[in-house]
Chain A
Amino acid sequence: MMAELPQEGEQSRARAGLAGYFRVVWTVAEKDVRTELRAKEILGTMAAFSVLAAVIFGLAFDLRVPRTELVVPGILWVIILFAGVLGLHRSFGSETDRGTLTGLLLAPVERSALYLGKTAANLLYFLVVEALLVPALLILFDVNLLKPLILLGLLLGTIGYVAVGTLFAALTARNRARETLLPVLLLPVLAPLFISGVGLTAAVLDGRAASEAWPWIGIIALYDVLVFAVAFLIVDLIWEQG
């Protein structure tokens, strides 16, 4: 069953179809989640940080703020921002530390599929953490974030964050200072997303008309599209020089 020798020009026609592409995405995501469920390196850290940060913000603002609705949008997005950085650097960092990134790069698959698989697994971690964080903020600040527009903005914002975060995690994975380098590179790039997320959440909590919230959602959606477009353009270059 030895793989036959490649023929000249064979690579151009040996492209896997779309189903094959998404099979790779699913395979990488499933492996990441399975490994994480056993190692508990990323989810545990992100969840613990998020709940602790919410409690600390609660203690900090409890006696000083007339209306908690004023601070909760910022608290929500700041916690997501920092909890995300904690988890993202492990995404490729653990592969680099164990040498398994080389195994992935040796596979006869599109590298964008590896990136998308990692992004999908990270998105799942973020959504689990947010599912804990939103009720925690309700309990601590008595502010209900379970509103359709906020949840839509949170989902789209998380997709954009995870997409750019996973890309930057791949970029910095081989750097020894990746834990500090990742937030330094990532946070400025996330500014439009952060500002839009806070603006959207504040608009909804203030009870303003939906027409004031939709432009924020539009900006977040546009950000997501741009991030994925850039990611697909450069993801091969990131691993060009192993």
Chain B
Amino acid sequence: MTRLSLPLIRCENVRKRHGHRRILRDVTFSVAAGEVLALLGANGSGKTTLLRIIAGLDRPDRGEVWLGPVPLSGAGPEIRRYVGVVAHAPLLYDRLTGSENLGFYARLYNLEDAGARIEHLLRSLRLWARRDDAVRTYSRGMSQRLAIARALLHDPPVVVFDEPDTGLDRQSLEDVSDLFRQLRGRGRAVFVTTHDTARAFSWADRVCELRNGCLQQNAESKRNG
């Protein structure tokens, strides 16, 4: 397989148990550059567990996850630079301002052009006017947009979203749809979990479903834009 055709995310036979409960059973899939894969599933079906494994926050009991050519098992901390995560919680410090939050993460990621990058993200996500306000004064939609800015700060090739539509108003949902289009156009591999079947098909190039820990590959979705 050449480097050009190599998927950016590759899960092979991933298994995970929580106690006696089998959460993931031989889950295998891949996401290519410029592709959006949506994962459907009921509450507790293992979507977030799979997402955490891809993000390197959890380890599979068996199987392997690859980011490009690199297996996550045994990889050093630098591998985490290649993944951006928009989690269910915004992962933001509510006592810090929007720009302070991004500045903190920019220093952790050792970004050279942090100031310009932060300004670009805050402007494009319509948060520039509120950059010096504490995050605890932000609405749910604003926090979610800042969480997206945090995840994209280091411009990772792989971006994973955990139910990014939860609690968002219509405008914010349109922003998320636009974001997926942009990420697809810029060659990122996007993995997104959601409950909403219609939304999954509107966002994604492919839609899968987790049932009883097994991945069901559904029909290809109609790309929205």
Chain B residues 96-126 with CB under 8 Å of chain A are: 96, 100, 104-105, 107-110, 113, 117
Q: How far is the CA of A110 from the CA of B57 in the complex (A)?
A: 14
Which residues of the other chain, A, contact B157 by a CB distance below 8 angstroms? 2-5
Q: Is A211 an interface residue (CB 8 A)?
A: no
Q: Does B36 contact A (CB under 8 A)?
A: no
Q: Which B residues lie within 8 Å of A2 (CB)? A: 155-157, 186-188
Is B150 touching A103 in the complex (CB atoms < 8 A)? yes
**Interface pair A106/B93, CB less than 8 Å apart:** no
* Distance in angstroms between the alpha carbons of A11 and B105 in the assembled complex: 20
A3 touching B70 in the complex, CB below 8 Å, given contacts A16-B110, A38-B95, A100-B92? no
Most A-side CB within 10 Å, residue of B59, B67, B77 = B77
Interface residues of B, count at CB 8 A: 51
B69 within 8 A of A: yes
| Contact status B155-A6, CB under 8 Å | no
**For residues 1 through 29 of chain A, which have their beta carbon under 8 Å from a beta carbon of chain B?**
1-8, 10-12, 14-16, 20, 23-24, 27-28
Interface of B is mostly: loop
Which residues of the partner chain B approach A108 to less than 8 Å between Cβ atoms?
77-81, 108-109
On chain B, the residues within 8 Å of A35 by CB distance are: 93, 95-96
The reply to whether the CB of A144 lies closer than 8 angstroms to some CB of chain B is no
Q: Is B57's CB under 8 angstroms from A106's CB?
A: yes
A41: shortest Cβ distance to chain B, in Å?
Answer: 9
Q: How far is the CA of A28 from the CA of B76 in the complex (A)?
A: 20
Chain A residue numbers with a CB within 8 Å of B52 are: 242
B81–A3 CB distance below 8 A: yes
CB distance from A11 to the nearest CB of B (A): 4
Contact present for A6 and B108 (CB under 8 Å): no
B-side contacts of A10, CB under 8 Å: 70, 78
Residues from chain B with a CB closer than 8 A to the CB of A16 are 110
Cβ A109 vs Cβ B113 within 8 A: no
With A14-B78, A35-B93, A108-B80: A1-B108 Cβ-Cβ less than 8 Å: no
Please determine whether B108 and A109 come into contact, CB atoms closer than 8 angstroms. Answer: yes
Known contacts A8-B69, A11-B78, A107-B105, then 7 further A-B pairs from the complex at CB < 8 Å, ordered by chain A residue? A3-B156, A3-B157, A6-B75, A38-B96, A100-B91, A102-B57, A106-B55
7 residue pairs bridging A and B, Cβ less than 8 Å apart: A2-B186, A2-B188, A27-B104, A99-B88, A106-B55, A107-B108, A107-B109
- Could you list which residues of chain A lie within 8 angstroms of chain B, going by C-beta atoms? 1-8, 10-12, 14-16, 20, 23-24, 27-28, 31, 34-35, 38-39, 98-100, 102-111, 240-242
